[in-house]
Amino acid sequence: MTKTSMRWLLTIAGVFLYVGDIWTDIVLAVKYFQEEQYVWTGFTVMFILIGLLVTQIFSYAWYWDDLNDPLLNPEGKKEISDMSKPGLVVLHAFGFGIFTRYYHLLKEGFQVVWTKSNGDGVDKLREVHKKLFCVATDLSMLKLFETFLESAPQLLLQLYILLGHNEVSVMQCLSVAFSFCNIAWSLVDYRRCLRRSLPYIREMPSGLPTAIYLLYKICTITSLILSYSLLLILSIYTTVVLTVLWLLATIWTHLLETKFCSSRSLEFLYRAVAGVILTFTFFNVKGQDTKVAMTTYYIFCTVINIMSPSLMALLKPELQTSTLLLTISGLICGCSVLGLVCLILYYVQLHPRRVQREEDEVDDPGKETKSLARIKNFLKP
């Protein structure tokens, strides 16, 4: 089996995780509503809608950019991927933007992977692969947005309900499992697309480097979400602290003067989304030296991971011998240490080296053609 056919099959797996994540959350919201748990219903539905709304906005904006891009639409057609502008509006208004992109990627990818070429030249095949990669890169970015706007907050919410209110159900466990898997999938898929989109950076190899990178991300995110959940159990006002952290991260992103979007209003939305991502994991929003920023970020995360179980033990002494608290504290400590070890190991030993000396890569490749121009803007000193 070739790499291209494997990627096509993995795309189907990505669709399954995306649908499963949203479906379990919807079923869980219905369950909460039937049990008259209206607060949990509201928050569960809110995270679903925020993730859908933001991804539809960016998806539509990128389709619009493609229509006006002379490289992708040299003939100036009024349709993109066989869809007219009114059709795009309708599809995105009903939340089918990502599904539409998945459909076109799988359809066109199937023709490339599973059907014989009719004597197409090398240039033609290269152009088709470039178009497919453009679609895949868009999807990876949209999935990253959806992951941290829906899956990560949903995971935090359900863990808070499970740990703080002793309410356990099969659907809650399924929701947590799908959210966790969706986060892991999106991070690896996005990282690989990022490295493939930058010509002077070697592609992220499979095997050990990918596994170590995934462990680093998953462990650091898991420890932080568990710490947040303990702080929420201690006081619901932790939500205010999390809001302040999001605001600070958004302001920092704004001060970096990112140039990811084609419009100013969309750029502000992107910076707000980047702020959400930074609440859960480090995200290099602009090409620059990230050693100081990343070190500072993970020192802060380590402080939170030490502080949350310590405060729980001090403020609720009756839980000091609780099996649950000891288990959660052990998970926080173990995931934090393992995540930081994998981070150091990855960047010291396994990080693919640049083909030539350039500034640090960014964590938002945008899209091919216009997005590649954005990357070049990021990389200007």
Chain centre distance of CA 134: 17
pLDDT digit string, tens, across residues 79-90: 776 777 788 888
- pLDDT of 286 strictly over 70: no
pLDDT of residue 323: 80
Q: Angle between the 97-113 and 38-67 helix axes, to the nearest 10 degrees?
A: 60
- pLDDT of 208 strictly over 80: yes
Q: Is residue 340 in some structural domain?
A: yes
CB crowding 315-338: b at 16 or more within 10 Å, else e: eeeeeeeeeebeebbeebeebbeb
Question: Looking at this protein, which amino acid is placed at residue 379?
Answer: L
pLDDT digit string, tens, across residues 357-368: 444 445 554 444
Q: How many CA atoms lie within 13 A of 295 on its CB side?
A: 4
265, 243 contact by CB (below 8 A): no
Number of domains in the chain: 1
Q: Which of 42-46, 248-252, 281-285, 342-346 comes out lowest in average pLDDT? A: 281-285
Burial label, 118 (beta-carbon count in 10 A; 0-12, 13-18, 19+): exposed
Q: Is residue 193 in some structural domain?
A: yes
Give me the percent of the chain exceeding a pLDDT of 70. Answer: 78
pLDDT of residue 368: 45
Q: Is residue 276 in some structural domain?
A: yes
DSSP 8-state secondary structure symbol assigned to residue 362 = -
Q: Is residue 361 in some structural domain?
A: no
Q: CA-CA distance, 251 to 245, in Å (whole number)?
A: 10
Q: Is residue 362 in some structural domain?
A: no
- pLDDT of 101 strictly over 80: yes
Q: Token pair 């649950």 is at which residue?
A: 324
Mean pLDDT of 168-190: 88
- What is the span of the domain harbouring residue 340? 3-353+370-378
| E strand spans, the chain | 79-80, 83-84
Q: CA-CA distance, 381 to 379, in Å (whole number)?
A: 6
DSSP 8-state secondary structure symbol assigned to residue 363 = S
Who's near 364: CB < 8 A, 6+ residues apart?
141, 258, 260, 270, 274, 285, 378
Q: Is residue 248 in some structural domain?
A: yes
pLDDT digit string, tens, across residues 288-324: 667 888 999 999 999 999 999 999 888 887 776 678 7
Q: Is residue 359 in some structural domain?
A: no
Q: Is residue 23 in some structural domain?
A: yes
DSSP 8-state secondary structure symbol assigned to residue 286 = S
Mean pLDDT of the chain: 82
Burial label, 26 (beta-carbon count in 10 A; 0-12, 13-18, 19+): middle
**202 — pLDDT class (breaks 50, 70, 90):** low
